[in-house]
């Protein structure tokens, strides 16, 4: 299947680690030009060097996405360099454990803005280009938006809001042929996940207990599997899919508990 992504310019936030890295790599394999935006300077540089050594085109911006000016600069400098923006993958986020009991109004507001603000900022600044390109947006949310987790109010609120914005933007952008969809991962081993699982007293036992409850093959979803779904949604092959929430999780959220 030809995804028709050759030379398409795609901004991927958090695009040098975990799920974002897998999306960047797959876009590069498909001949697209991934533009990474992440604070993770070292990983940005390492990944860029690797892609360049394979003659794959890519670029990276290093900075803090909760800064709206940084987001504006990502868009203006991407346009200056490549002349177009075809798609946006809003992916960067952090399950920061700001809960009802251990948080406070200031830490809650901070967590929501850090996890949610840049999804809006980048879509806002990239909009004129996305209109020109009849582009596409994928918002990476989380199963936490549907199931809750406990102890993470800010993150849960931001992840649920991303689903709301997916429907809202899909509606607002219908006249421009811009498609907007969301992906909800559940259990994917990434640097973020590893640091979360290590907050438990017995991380390997906790992990084994989670994995045993994943209906399909009792294993975690891979970053590559999240990337496949994301890149398909970005592509012209998904030309009549908009406003959708895709839960990519081996049946973890929706299948009958009795199956595991
Ligand atoms: N890993 C999972 O199991 C899982 C499950 C559900 C949802 N998700 C979502 O998937 C997305 C990616 O998660 P991951 O597990 O790949 O994480 P990760 O930490 O491995 O990668 C995210 C990258 O984004 C960067 N980043 C995060 N916030 C940033 C900010 N405000 N400014 C600049 N850079 C920032 C981080 O430094 C990191 O390099 C997140 O939105 C997360 O909520 C992940």
Between CA 74 and CA 81 the distance in angstroms is 10
How is the chain split into domains, by residue range? 9-188+222-251
CA distances to 93, 102, 147, 159, 173 from 143, rounded to whole Å, are: 13, 22, 6, 8, 25
- Look at residue 185 in the predicted model and tell me its pLDDT: 98
Percentage of the chain lying above the pLDDT 70 cut: 100
- Give the Å distance between the CA of 190 and the centre of ligand 1: 8
Nearest atom in ligand 1 to 114's CA: 31
Residue in this structure with the two tokens 């879509």, named with its chain if needed: 123
- Mutation to probe ligand 1, out of 12, 26, 93 (largest number of atoms < 8 A from CB): 93
Q: Kind of pairing, strands 87-90 and 59-62?
A: unpaired
Domain spanning 9-188+222-251 has what CATH number? Answer: 3.40.50.720
pLDDT by residue (tens digit) across 66-116? 999 999 999 999 999 999 999 999 999 999 999 999 999 999 999 999 999
20 Cβ below 6 A of ligand 1 = yes
- Give the Å distance between the CA of 14 and the centre of ligand 1: 6
CA distances to 15, 65, 110 from 39, rounded to whole Å, are: 10, 8, 17
Nearest CA to ligand 1 atom 36: 14
Is 72 exposed, middle or buried, given 0-12, 13-18 or 19+ CB atoms closer than 10 A?
middle
Is 39 exposed, middle or buried, given 0-12, 13-18 or 19+ CB atoms closer than 10 A?
middle
Residue in this structure with the two tokens 């993770």, named with its chain if needed: 40
Residue in this structure with the two tokens 């999780």, named with its chain if needed: 249
- Look at residue 114 in the predicted model and tell me its pLDDT: 97
- Look at residue 108 in the predicted model and tell me its pLDDT: 98
pLDDT by residue (tens digit) across 154-212? 999 999 999 999 999 999 999 999 999 999 999 999 999 999 999 999 999 999 999 99
């Amino acid at each position: 299947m030809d995804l028709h992504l050759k030379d398409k310019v795609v901004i991927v936030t958090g695009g040098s680690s975990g799920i974002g890295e897998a999306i960047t790599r797959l876009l590069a394999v498909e001949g697209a030009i991934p533009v990474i935006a992440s604070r993770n300077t070292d990983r940005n540089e390492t990944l860029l060097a690797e892609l360049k050594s394979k003659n794959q085109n890519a670029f990276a911006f290093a900075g803090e996405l909760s800064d709206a000016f940084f987001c504006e600069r990502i868009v203006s400098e991407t346009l200056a360099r490549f002349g177009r923006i075809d798609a946006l993958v809003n992916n960067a986020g952090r399950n920061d454990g700001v809960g009802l009991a251990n948080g406070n109004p200031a830490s809650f507001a901070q967590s929501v803005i850090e996890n949610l603000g840049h999804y809006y900022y980048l879509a806002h600044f990239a909009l004129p280009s996305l209109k020109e390109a009849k582009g596409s947006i994928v918002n990476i949310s989380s199963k936490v938006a549907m199931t809750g987790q406990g102890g993470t109010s800010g993150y849960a609120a931001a992840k649920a809001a991303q689903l709301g914005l997916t429907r809202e933007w899909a509606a607002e952008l219908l006249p421009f042929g811009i498609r907007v969809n969301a992906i909800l991962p559940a259990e994917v081993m990434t640097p973020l996940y590893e640091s979360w699982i290590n907050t438990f007293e017995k991380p390997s036992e906790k992990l084994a207990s989670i994995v045993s409850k994943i209906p399909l093959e009792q294993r975690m979803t891979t970053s590559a599997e999240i990337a496949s779904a994301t890149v398909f949604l970005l592509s012209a092959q998904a030309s009549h899919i908009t406003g959708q929430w895709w839960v990519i999780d081996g049946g973890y959220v929706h299948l009958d508990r009795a199956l595991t």
